[in-house]
Structure 1
Amino acid sequence: MFQRHEPIAGMPGNAAALTMSQAIPLRRVGGDSADPPGWRDRLAQLDLVPDLGSNIGSAEWWRGLATLTLLCGSAVATFPGLRPLTVATTPALDPADFNEARAQMIVPLALGGDTGRHMAATDAVRPLTQTPERPQIELTATLGRGDSFARLLERSGVGSAEAQAIADKVSGAVPLADIAPGTRIDLILGRRASRTMPRPLDALAMRARFDLRIEMERVGGQLVLRRIPIAVDATPLRIRGRVGDSLYRSARAAGAPPQAIQSYLRVIGQQISVGSDIQASDEYDIIVEHRRAETGESETGRLLYAGLIRGGRPRLSMLEWTSDGRSRWFEASGVGQQRGGMARPTNGRITSTFGMRRHPILGYRRMHSGIDFAGGYGAPIHAVTDGVVALAGRNGGYGNYVRLNHGNGLGTGYGHMSRIAVRPGQRVSRGQVIGYIGSTGLSTGPHLHYELYRNGRAVNPSSVTFVTRALLEGKELAAFRARIRELTAIAPGAALAPMALRQIEGPKLGSLADVASKRAGEGI
């Protein structure tokens, strides 16, 4: 359709390309070259298919376009079209022949699944007089929070009387309260005498405690319980390392649990500033409870010791110690937690300060002997420091009122409560909830009226700063320091080293699968 002009070899590079008729002169055979060409010669020289890429718009170009259009129109006019070919097929089966052929195939097994219809039962179908059931059922139950051991067995299919008897037998080996929620209990239920009776328990196995496994098996018609103690290494886990860019990331990389690191930061944060007083070259010293069983399981408990080392010498050593019935963190010198500043009794903003003011209900000016804090109805009220409840109840215009004595002639009062959460004579600690904001007594809305007393007289609460400090003395201080020496003598990572566990005496019951296979072999 298009003809590309190529240069002719031997001609200059700027020579024009020639058409076929121009390159090869035509002349009549046997005629004189000087005679004028006839109509045959002129027809032969006529180029019906010129190059449509050149001389666009000339007469020769329009003649080529007309030829192209004529050829395309002829092709379309003479196109025969597409018609499907018909092929003879086998005749379709009638319904009777189709059902007969279908009966010889596996298709009937799926009848109902492919058509949506179910085949009706024929005279060849006979109902079973009794459906056979499995001789044993193996299952696993999980003890939930707030659940009881007997209810768990009943839900698993054990009769109520037998479930209670099994629970009493297990409680003789381990208190049921010691079985932690989430404990998995493997059960094997045996054959029942009749279909209307619950299945009896043939075997039971569970990890009752971290150091105890309990297994039960029915022998001679009676359930026999076995206590299998598990050897446990209770060496505390000590983790020590350089603070570097981040104490938290460094301790996590060393294997410290996240909860232990958070507790460590809270403890040392009571003595120093975690953000400014800790240097990158310091070393953290964390000791936590750690137990490892001979079966391979391990668990990590609470933080026991928090230390900070600078230049090879201890800068801070904190140990949790129980004194006077209260558990607190003490520094190595025997000085306990020191907390300064008056704690806010509630989180609300101050709406009225200490001093003379016009009473919103009585309408005249009089002394306002405390500070009012705004708050929503039912918001908690906290003790500003440790103390003893001297009064808890109705107190005139204060409404529901609580008064605390803090020693050395200091006391605090909390009025207009909606509800009181303490009782007279009770010892409270700093931050403990003692009541809830209300609007009892002479009050125009829910708020807290807070007062501070010195030797029985009300003073401005903003003028006093409370400091809580505890000291250890005598034998208690010696025992405290001995405990620190005991913990710091543990080598870092010693709790993870291989240990020689003692052998457990007495026979052990195999897995429930072994029990089931043994019973099947005995024909039980």
Structure 2
Amino acid sequence: MFHSPRPLVAAAAVPIAFGRAGVLRRPQPRFNLVVDLTQQPFSKRWWRGLATLTALVAGVSQLAPPLGALPAGTPVAEGSDQARQEAALAVGALSQGSATGLTMSEGPLARPIVSAPARQSRSLSLIVSPGDDLARLLGRNGVRVADALQAAALVRAEKALPAPGTTLSLRLGAPDGAGQRPIEHLQYRARLDLELVISGSDAGLTVERRQLGLDRTPLRIRGSVGGGLYWALRSAGASPTQAADYLQAIGGSLDVGSEVMPGDRFELVVAQAKSADGRTLSGGLLYAGLERSGGSDLSLVRVPLGGKLQWISETASPEPVRSGLLTPVAGPITSGFGGRMHPILRFIRMHKGVDYGAGWGAPIVAAADGQVIRAGWTGGYGRQVRIAHEGGLVTSYSHMSRIVAEGGFVRRGELIGYVGSSGLSTGPHLHYEVLKDGVPVNPLGVTMVSRPLVDNRLMAAVRARAKALRGL
């Protein structure tokens, strides 16, 4: 086997010696400053290493800076010229004034004056903070007390108090002896269609209301359902409130979680007001439509009915309609109706409803039209809402994190609260029960009969309104 030759070492560099047994022995160097003090203690070599270490420590201690405490207090300037320079640069002690800027000497171009002239007019832009008072806001910015109080009184009389975040355009006059200034001009946008102007004169303050023209053409939003209806609505330009209103509107006619498919097309029309300078204010949802690939289309119009705004289908029929209860929350069923081992009490117990696995804060809607008969804390059920329906049916929604519907009449698909884990619960979910004449029944097998409150004249108005909104 071939091996690469090792590098040659000059014989003169390392002399070779042999011991008594003929074993090759490498000689130790005669003198080495580096000594291991743990080897051969108290030998000559050990004492030499200790002396070397002591000398090195002594040398370092001579070269090291002093370890005394730093001087405390403010150093005193050496001489009047240095004191003037420190004061001019604002590095002197506060107790000595520490004024910035040197005093200019009198000369042909610079002469001392007794007092500086005040600006005769001052313009400001103020933003109203939450909880701020107009009089205090004006007073903090140099307005004289009488003008600040009078301006606040004029605004209250016009019922046009500036909302938080409103920008005030303010121009003040020359200051009086106390340094306070009168109001010459105060202007701000009180509403989208109203601008308030306060002018000052020798006779006092006067107020002027300027009505602004608005374009009230509703806004039409259309799009296609992709991975989820809510995010498709948001991507098309609907606000979170508008998207929630749309889901609530169509939720009264179909199960959004299972009956709305990718490829279906949605359409909604919302009230909107737009000013000449481009500011917009969105209103409520007026129309909700859905073109379905796997079922009948929806066309809903919001009209006043029974003392409140309600959604009426363009194709509504006055005949009774049989339908099942609406699924109250989007989520899978994690525990069905019947006997089961209780997850906390650990014994077999009748499960009087159905559990839906949903995340914390998921919206819960009413399964059908009805009257809220209970809304609050109910022992192990936590926060609970109970709704009475026709035919002796009652639906119950438990373990909620927050309750929205605390009383009154609710429509099918209307928001009543949010999923939580209150009461005797192991995690966020909705416990949903249905009672028939006080006896729990399986919610998945309940069928209801609803009778839409519509007539021919109302349906004619609904169809005309739907046609007009779709034609925008």
Q: TM-score, normalised by structure 1?
A: 0.51
Match of 2:374 among 368, 391, 406: 391
Match of 1:299 among 280, 292, 308: 280
Change (3 A) 1:463 1:160: farther
The code of the aligned residue for 1:153 comes to L
> CA offset at residue 166 of structure 1?
0.8
Which has the higher Rg, Structure 1 or Structure 2? Answer: 1
Conserved in 2, the CA contact under 8 Å of 1:154 and 1:163? yes
Seq. identity, %: 35
Change (3 A) 1:118 1:353: closer
Deviations 1:120-146 (A, max 9, x none): 547649864323221111122233555
Change (3 A) 1:473 1:260: farther
> CA offset at residue 411 of structure 1?
1.2
Match of 2:143 among 146, 158, 161: 158
Match of 2:303 among 313, 317, 321: 321
Is 2:423 the counterpart of 1:439? Answer: yes
After the TM superposition, which residues 476-495 of structure 1 pair with which residues of structure 2 at under 5 Å, given as runs? 476-484=458-466, 487=469
Match of 1:217 among 199, 206, 231: 199
Deviations 1:138-181 (A, max 9, x none): 122233555554444344333455334212212333432xx555
CA distance in 2 between partners of 1:298 and 1:363 (Å): 60
- 117-126 vs 214-223, which deviates more? 117-126
What is residue 168 of structure 2 aligned with on the other side? 185
CA distance in 1 between partners of 2:390 and 2:167 (Å): 52
The code of the aligned residue for 1:324 comes to G
Change (3 A) 1:164 1:471: farther
Match of 1:138 among 120, 123, 134: 123
SS of the residue corresponding to residue 174 of structure 2 reads: coil
CA distance in 1 between partners of 2:103 and 2:122 (Å): 32
After the TM superposition, which residues 215-254 of structure 1 pair with which residues of structure 2 at under 5 Å, given as runs? 215-236=197-218
Is 2:454 the counterpart of 1:454? Answer: no
SS of the residue corresponding to residue 371 of structure 2 reads: strand
What is residue 8 of structure 2 aligned with on the other side? none
CA distance in 2 between partners of 1:379 and 1:277 (Å): 27
Is 2:314 the counterpart of 1:332? Answer: yes
Conserved in 1, the CA contact under 8 Å of 2:388 and 2:394? yes
Conserved in 1, the CA contact under 8 Å of 2:399 and 2:419? no
- 183-192 vs 461-470, which deviates more? 461-470
Conserved in 1, the CA contact under 8 Å of 2:376 and 2:383? yes
Is 2:395 the counterpart of 1:412? Answer: yes
SS of the residue corresponding to residue 391 of structure 1 reads: strand
The code of the aligned residue for 2:153 comes to D
> CA offset at residue 410 of structure 1?
1.5
Change (3 A) 1:138 1:339: farther
Conserved in 2, the CA contact under 8 Å of 1:439 and 1:446? no
> CA offset at residue 428 of structure 1?
4.3
Conserved in 2, the CA contact under 8 Å of 1:340 and 1:468? no
SS of the residue corresponding to residue 320 of structure 1 reads: strand
Q: Which runs of 5+ in 2 are unaligned?
A: 1-87, 91-98
Conserved in 2, the CA contact under 8 Å of 1:419 and 1:438? no
Conserved in 1, the CA contact under 8 Å of 2:264 and 2:290? no
Number of residue pairs the alignment of both structures matches: 351
CA distance in 1 between partners of 2:422 and 2:220 (Å): 49
Conserved in 2, the CA contact under 8 Å of 1:391 and 1:402? yes
Change (3 A) 1:356 1:171: same
Conserved in 2, the CA contact under 8 Å of 1:265 and 1:274? no
What is residue 129 of structure 1 aligned with on the other side? 114
Conserved in 1, the CA contact under 8 Å of 2:323 and 2:447? no
Is 2:185 the counterpart of 1:203? Answer: yes
SS of the residue corresponding to residue 407 of structure 1 reads: coil
Deviations 1:216-262 (A, max 9, x none): 2212241122222234443446799x99x9xx9xxx9xxx9822898
The code of the aligned residue for 1:411 comes to V
After the TM superposition, which residues 49-64 of structure 1 pair with which residues of structure 2 at under 5 Å, given as runs? none
Change (3 A) 1:171 1:349: same
Match of 2:238 among 259, 262, 268: 259
SS of the residue corresponding to residue 148 of structure 2 reads: helix
The code of the aligned residue for 1:301 comes to S
CA distance in 2 between partners of 1:333 and 1:357 (Å): 44
CA distance in 1 between partners of 2:101 and 2:340 (Å): 93
Deviations 1:332-356 (A, max 9, x none): 23569x9965424586872x43223
What is residue 275 of structure 1 aligned with on the other side? 262
What is residue 473 of structure 1 aligned with on the other side? 455
Change (3 A) 1:349 1:129: farther
The code of the aligned residue for 1:259 comes to A
Conserved in 2, the CA contact under 8 Å of 1:307 and 1:318? yes
The code of the aligned residue for 2:373 comes to A
Deviations 1:191-221 (A, max 9, x none): 22124x4322111122333333322221224
SS of the residue corresponding to residue 259 of structure 1 reads: coil
The code of the aligned residue for 2:352 comes to S
> CA offset at residue 433 of structure 1?
0.8
SS of the residue corresponding to residue 193 of structure 1 reads: coil
> CA offset at residue 396 of structure 1?
6.5
Is 2:351 the counterpart of 1:368? Answer: yes
Conserved in 1, the CA contact under 8 Å of 2:377 and 2:384? yes
What is residue 59 of structure 1 aligned with on the other side? none
What is residue 99 of structure 1 aligned with on the other side? none
CA distance in 1 between partners of 2:443 and 2:393 (Å): 11
SS of the residue corresponding to residue 389 of structure 2 reads: strand
Conserved in 1, the CA contact under 8 Å of 2:381 and 2:422? no
Deviations 1:61-92 (A, max 9, x none): xxxxxxxxxxxxxxxxxxxxxxxxxxxxxxxx
Conserved in 1, the CA contact under 8 Å of 2:221 and 2:236? no
Is 2:152 the counterpart of 1:167? Answer: yes
